[in-house]
């Protein structure tokens, strides 16, 4: 089945990237999108994408944890990188009030600065939001109709999911939905329209059942895919075809015929 892992950090996996990529291909993964998070790894993911294009592409952005490092020079780098064919979006950007690694006011400023880059370049955004639903929605409202994208590794409330949908944003589901204590999330997923969802590994994090305890990798996306198909009451084939359409709609630069 053709799947796309729309959010993965292959560069953070402890094994050799070439082996991880080959293993994903062997399991039916047809595309993967590496996600930038800080001033250095945006170049690492871009290089990996370029070397493995079009199987691998990437997004670039500064994670809310690293907002405090954001400078004009970094912004110039982001503006340069988005012109490359292997760079298909902005992310991950957003707000994280769980860890508060950067001050909240700085996170909000840097989030908006990068939404501006997305708007200017007509690129979709992968958003990280944790314990910051109201402030995230405020930004999404400001850019509604101007910037689109997805809420990555969604674990928020059902209310949040539907508010985001109304504003034109999609929801991306990770292996978290397979965890025993994710009953509420599973109920939320069942309420989502199938043409507005995506799946991802967020590897090396969020390893799905039945591989909990092991380092996550894109090849393990197939477990989340099977699980989500069952939750949505469709065959894996129907889900696969729909998710491909969804990914291509949201990321027009994605090179996937
Ligand atoms: Zn991530």
Residue 20, domain CATH: 3.20.20.140
Report the 10 Å Cβ neighbour count for 72.
Answer: 8
Distance 242 CA to ligand 1 centre (A): 23
What mean pLDDT is reported for the chain?
97
* 238 belongs to a structural domain: yes
Does the N-terminal peptide bond of residue 99 adopt cis geometry, omega within 30 degrees of 0? Answer: no
Residue 256 lies in a domain: no
Q: Is residue 8 part of a domain?
A: yes
Tell me if 244 is assigned to some domain: yes
Domain count within the chain = 1
Cα of 203 vs centre of ligand 1, distance in Å, is 8
Å from CA of 155 to ligand 1 middle: 13
Q: State the pLDDT at residue 190.
A: 98
pLDDT at 27 over 90: yes
* Phi, then psi, of 219 in degrees rounded to 5: -60, -25
**Domain range spanning residue 19?**
3-250
pLDDT tens digits for range 54-93: 999 999 999 999 999 999 999 999 999 999 999 999 999 9
CA distance 172 to 61: 18
Helix, strand or coil for residue 136? helix
Q: Is 200 domain-assigned?
A: yes
Q: Do residues 39 and 13 lie in contact, with contact meaning Cβ atoms separated by under 8 Å? A: no
Q: What is the CA radius of gyration of the chain?
A: 17
Output the CA 92–ligand 1 centroid distance in Å: 7
pLDDT band at 1 (very low <50, low <70, confident <90, very high): confident
Asked if residue 255 belongs to a domain, the reply is: no
Residue 164 located in a structural domain: yes
Q: Ligand 1 mean position to 206 CA, how many Å?
A: 10
With respect to residue 150, please indicate whether it lies within any of the assigned structural domains. yes
Expressed in angstroms and rounded, the spacing between residue 237 Cα and the centre of ligand 1 is 26
Are 227 and 32 in contact by the 8 Å Cβ rule? The answer is no
């Amino acid at each position: 089945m053709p799947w796309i892992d729309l959010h993965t950090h292959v560069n953070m996996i402890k094994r050799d990237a070439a082996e991880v990529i080959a293993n994903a291909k062997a399991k039916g993964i047809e595309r993967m999108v590496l996600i930038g998070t800080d001033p250095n790894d945006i170049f690492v993911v871009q290089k990996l994408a370029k070397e493995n294009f079009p199987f691998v592409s990437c997004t670039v952005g500064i994670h809310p944890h690293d907002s405090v490092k954001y400078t004009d020079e970094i912004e110039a780098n982001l503006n340069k990188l988005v012109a490359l064919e292997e760079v298909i979006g902005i992310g991950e950007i957003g707000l994280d009030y769980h860890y508060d690694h950067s001050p909240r006011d700085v996170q909000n400023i840097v989030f908006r600065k990068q939404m501006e880059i997305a708007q200017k370049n007509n690129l979709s955004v992968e958003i990280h939001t944790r314990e910051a639903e109201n402030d995230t929605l405020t930004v999404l409202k400001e850019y509604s109709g101007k910037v689109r994208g997805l809420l990555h590794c969604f674990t928020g409330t059902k209310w949040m999911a539907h508010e985001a949908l109304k504003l034109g944003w999609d929801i991306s589901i990770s292996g978290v939905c397979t965890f025993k204590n994710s009953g509420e999330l599973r109920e939320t997923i069942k309420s989502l329209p199938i043409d507005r969802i995506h799946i991802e590994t967020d590897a090396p994090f969020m390893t799905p059942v039945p591989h909990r305890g092991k380092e996550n990798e894109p090849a393990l996306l197939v477990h989340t895919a099977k699980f989500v198909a069952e939750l949505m009451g469709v065959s894996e084939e129907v889900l696969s075809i729909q998710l491909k359409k969804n990914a291509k709609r949201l990321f027009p630069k994605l090179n996937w015929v």
